[in-house]
Structure formats: C-alpha cells, structure tokens
Amino acid sequence: MKIARFSRLGFILAAVGSAVGLGNIWKFPYIAGENGGGAFVLIYLVTVLLIGFSILIAEMIIGYKGRKDGISCFESLAPKHKNIWKFAGFQSITGLFIMSFYSVVIGWIFNYIVTSTTSLPSSVQEAEATFTTMLHSDISTQLFYHTLTFLLITFILTKGIKGGIQRLNFILMPTLVIILLGMFAYALTLDAFSQSLEFMFAPKWEKINSGVFITAIGHAFFTLSLGMGAILTYSASMPKNSNLVQNALWITFLDTLIAIVAGLMLFTFLYEYGSSPTKGPGLVFISLPTVFYEMGIIGNFFAVLFFIALAFAGLTSAVSLVEPMIEYFINRFKWSRLKASIYMGLFFYSLGIAALLSNTDAYKELLSFGSKNLFDWIDFFTASVMLPLAGLIMALFVGFAVEKKRVESVVKHQFGALAFSIWYFSLRYITPVAMILLLLSLLEII
C-alpha cells in the first residue's frame, strides 16, 4: 500500500511536533524540580546528545529505508532472522499506552482553558486545592474532557498524513513557539529569573541516585519521541533524498531548547510568587494560574492563551503516539484509515479511563499496585522500561543487523567520514551498554 508523503517542511514540523509536547512543557519542569534541578538537567542534556541523538538517527534510518509500518520496516531491512526482528516493532504499541494517560492530561488542559476565562486562583494554596479537588474527586469533569480529547484526536487521525497530521502541525507548531517565546520574554523581566537560572543549572549532586539517572534517560527518550514508533513512522513518509542528519539536529535542538525555556519560565514564576518547583505533575496547573491572577484582568487572557499553547503541544504529540499502530493495521490487515483510527482511539480511551480513575479517592485503592497507582505505573513503565528497551533494540539492529554499507549509503555523506565513524561507534557500543546498565538498574527500584 502506498504511504502518503510529507513535504520537507511538513516532515520537520510533524517530527518536531511529535518531540515538542507535554513532555517539554508539562513533564520536564516538574521532574527537574523533583530531582535536584541542575544535576538532573545536566544528566538529561548529556543523555540527549550522546544517546538520544544516536538512536534518533537510527530510528529515522529504519523508517526512511523501510518505507512501511514499524514491524514491516524491521522485516524488510533485516538480512537474516526476519521472523525474529519483526518483534522489534513492538515499540509501536508503546505510544498507545503513553496516550492513555497523555489524553487525560490534555483533558485537564482543556478544562483549564475553559475555567481560566472566568476565574483564577488568588494564591498557590487555592490553586493547589482546585487542582487536587479535580484530580481526586471530580470524575465527571475529567471524563468529559478525556472524551473530548479522544474524539478530537481520532478525528484528526482519520484525515491521514497530509490532511490531518501535516495540516495540524503547520498551524499549531508556529503558534506554540510564538506563545512560549512571549511568556519567556515576560519571565525575563521578573527579579526571580536569576533564581530560576541557578536552580536550572547549578547541580545539587547530593540528590543524584540511580533513580535520577533512570528518570533523566527515560525522559530524554520521551521528549524526543524515541522508541514509540512515531519517528520511524514519520520517517517512512519522508521525501526522498532528505538529509536525515540535518533533520535530526533540528528536532534535537528545538526539543531541548523548548524544554529549557519552559523550565526557566515556570521556575521564574514559581519563585516570583513564593512557591517552589516541587509540585509534581500538577506544577503548571498550580503555579501558573496564580501568576496570571497577579496580572489583573489581562491575566485571564494570558491564562487562556498559555493553556491553548499547552493543548497545541499535547495534540501535535498525541497524533504521533497513535499513528504508528494505525499504519500497522492499514498496511498489514488492509483496514481502512477510519476503522484503524477508531479502534486505536478506543484502546487508549478505555485504558485512559482506568488511569484517570486511579487518581481518584473513590478508585485509587482498587487501581493501585505496590507503591503506584495505574496512572503512575503506565507513566513509569513506558518511560523507564519500554522506551529504553526499544532504543537498545534499534541500536543493535542498525549497528549490527543492517549491513553497514546500507547505513553508509543513507547518512555517511551527510555526517562526513569522521562524524559518521564516531556516531556509528557510539551506536554499536556506547549506546547499548548505557541502555543495558539502565535497564539493570531498574531492578533496584522496582
């Protein structure tokens, strides 16, 4: 079956849209806050440069050369043991699991867009109480917006690569960047910006343990959309003669830049209005509404604008989480795009309801296992286990299973001889060792 193609700009915006999402604006600031600030940020940046970038190139090669869905790409590129390597395509289902809680969070954002038009909390304490009440008690509101998210994302996916995903990113990504830069410019004018810089870049090594390394590496995979089939699927629709290295550099640069900008902006607001960057997953829902309240009547406008930007980030990433499995069922089972989109949407929607309920007082005990509820377990297992495992498999596949000449034909001239040799060595030896050590260290904390 012929796969629809992106334009060159369309691919860049789609891939950046996949990478730049709630992981940058919602998740990165709060996990940096929980894990010691600068030390975590340093580990995260090193991981992105030494491991994330290597695997990003590898995943793009698999998609670009395979030109099919995730499982078929591994089958077609493997010179031997095709029936074994096809199971490497399991990574495509990871996006659906991530989407189950991702959709819930997007639903929170939609709720805040609506409520910000009329009222904002006057203090951090009030904002925290409002968010906590919604999270633990207000099941109907969360279900309504989770359902709205499911319907919207499924509709976009039914429109396909060009009519849905590419068009979405052409509109939302530039708007998102403009809004974030405007918010960051405002943060620069506040006295607390210097505190934010210190927190973000002054390492507190005493807070570092194996769990922090796992979180940082897992988040690097999460924000770059690695190991979930999204980049692979989009690369299969990349125009011929595309420069994979250049595209990967743009994706990595923009993804990392927006994570840092979002973190600095949020930490500045927190310090400026007497809070601390340790509010967990609710950070942007607790700190920012108070900041907007302090602005007066214009604060409602900026609150709505920010949460719209956050929703844009979520939507551009959300479609990339589901698209790999849609492509799989279209190509392998000849499903229509409408049928595949609806079935995949119902999967993440149903699991998302269970994840949503696991945060509530009424169902938390029923849907908790060990130290975490279902929402937290899905988040932890996908980011810390499934994504690094997929990264390990892709590094081994491109580094050892695919013929070197085939890899060279795609990216050697784009890298240059020396840079290619360094990247290839890192992919074959440094990245797999790092991934194996990471996965082994999980045994200490599970």
Q: What is the pLDDT of residue 1?
A: 43
Backbone angles phi, psi at 37, to 5 degrees: 65, -115
What does the pLDDT profile of the chain (446 residues) look like in tens digits? Answer: 444 555 656 666 666 666 666 777 777 877 887 787 888 888 888 888 888 999 999 999 999 998 888 788 898 898 888 888 878 877 889 999 999 999 999 999 999 999 998 889 988 788 889 999 999 999 999 999 999 999 999 999 998 766 667 677 777 778 878 888 888 998 899 899 999 898 888 877 777 777 787 788 878 887 788 888 888 988 888 888 889 999 899 888 888 888 888 888 888 877 887 666 666 666 778 877 887 888 788 788 888 888 888 888 888 888 888 989 998 999 889 999 999 999 999 999 999 999 999 999 999 999 999 989 999 999 989 988 898 899 999 999 999 999 999 999 999 999 999 999 999 999 999 999 888 888 887 766 55
For helices 124-136 and 139-158, give the axis angle rounded to 10 degrees: 80
Model's pTM, two decimal places? 0.86
Residues 6 or more apart whose Cβ sits within 8 Å of residue 416: none
Q: How far apart are CA 178 and CA 302, in angstroms?
A: 13
Domains of the chain: 8-444 (1.20.1740.10)
Judge contact between 142 and 104, C-beta under 8 A.
yes
Residue position matching structure tokens 């229509």:
336
Q: Which helix (H) or strand (E) holds 225?
A: none
Q: What is the pLDDT of residue 186?
A: 86
Judge residue 12's burial from the number of C-beta atoms within 10 Å of its C-beta, 0-12 exposed, 13-18 middle, 19 or more buried. Answer: buried
Q: How far apart are CA 314 and CA 24, in angstroms?
A: 10
Judge contact between 323 and 160, C-beta under 8 A.
no
Going from the C-alpha of 65 to that of each of 11, 58, 61, the distances in angstroms are 16, 11, 6
**CA end-to-end span of the chain:** 43
Long-range contact list for 275-279, CB < 8 A, 24+ apart? 275/124, 276/33, 277/29, 277/30, 277/32, 277/33, 277/37, 277/199, 278/33, 278/34, 279/30, 279/33, 279/128
To 5 degrees, how large is the angle CA 19–CA 312–CA 284? Answer: 85
Judge contact between 68 and 57, C-beta under 8 A.
no
Q: What is the pLDDT of residue 277?
A: 66
Judge residue 8's burial from the number of C-beta atoms within 10 Å of its C-beta, 0-12 exposed, 13-18 middle, 19 or more buried. Answer: middle
Q: What is the pLDDT of residue 25?
A: 76
Q: Which helix (H) or strand (E) holds 230?
A: helix 230-236
Closest CA to 381 of 405, 407, 346, 355: 355
Q: What is the pLDDT of residue 235?
A: 87
Judge contact between 48 and 220, C-beta under 8 A.
yes
Q: What is the token pair recorded at 442?
A: 């999980």
Sign of the dihedral defined by the CA atoms of residues 107, 111, 112, 113, in that order: positive
The H-assigned helical ranges of 189-229 are 193-201, 210-224
Residues 6 or more apart whose Cβ sits within 8 Å of residue 42: 201, 203
Q: How far apart are CA 297 and CA 23, in angstroms?
A: 30
Backbone angles phi, psi at 203, to 5 degrees: -70, 135
